[in-house]
Copies of this chain bind each other. A is one copy, B any other.
Amino acid sequence: MFPDIFRKLARGPQIVMLKDAAIISAFTGISPGYLVVDAGAGSGFLAIYMGNLVRPDGRVVSYERRHDFASLAERNVKKASMEKYVMIKNKDIFEGIDEKDVDVITLDLMEPWKAVEHAKGALKEGGFLVSYVPSVEQFRQFVRECEKHGLKHEQTVECTIREMVLKEQGTRPQIKGLMHTGYITFVRKP
């Protein structure tokens, strides 16, 4: 099953956590037939996760500026047998987006605001632009740039997962864990 394949992929640059991939996909409705543009690919985790959801007639195109990351992502796509659904493009998304009528664009970049203008051009009406950044200043600047281009800020959220541990002596939440990964911002083209 897919969770088993997913766990075996090679890890390189910091990856989008499964919980965050889940929220991104759920809040934008990613499902069969969606055309998704993603950047940067990194290890390709988010692209592969979404690729599995848009099958069989959808497609994820994931931009990656760095050649080494693009190669790693490419290998992971093959390992996951997602070649038909996920295309890794060794290109800087800040230089333009080739696709048109895109349903969802996901940006896992340090400066997502630099992709807003291109994203606006590529998105279909009602399409979602999503950014995933660690800091408050980043999503503020992203939202400002989006609003400047007439895109509508829907919401910015953070998602926390806390595991419950079941022991003989009782049930309690996990003691240490991830308190923060990133802020997920959803913007929409009117």
Which A residues are within 8 Å of any B CB, using their own CB?
1-4, 6, 18-19, 21-23, 25-29, 31-32, 49, 52-53, 55-56, 103, 110, 126-128, 133-140, 143, 153, 155-164, 166-167, 169-181, 183
Contacts and interface: CB of A to CB of B under 8 A. Distances in A.
A19 B18 CA distance: 13
The 7 A-B residue pairs with the shortest CB-CB distance in the complex, in nearest-first order? A135-B170, A2-B29, A22-B26, A173-B180, A137-B170, A22-B22, A156-B164
A30 to B, nearest CB: 8
A6 to B, nearest CB: 7
Contacts of A133: 170
A26 B25 contact: yes
Given A136-B172, A176-B179, A52 B31 contact: yes
Contacts of A183: 164, 172
A160 B161 CA distance: 6
A73 to B, nearest CB: 20
B21 A2 contact: no
A53 B134 CA distance: 29
A139 B164 contact: yes
A6 B167 CA distance: 33
Given A157-B161, A175-B178, A169 B27 contact: no
Nearest to A182: B172
A170 to B, nearest CB: 3
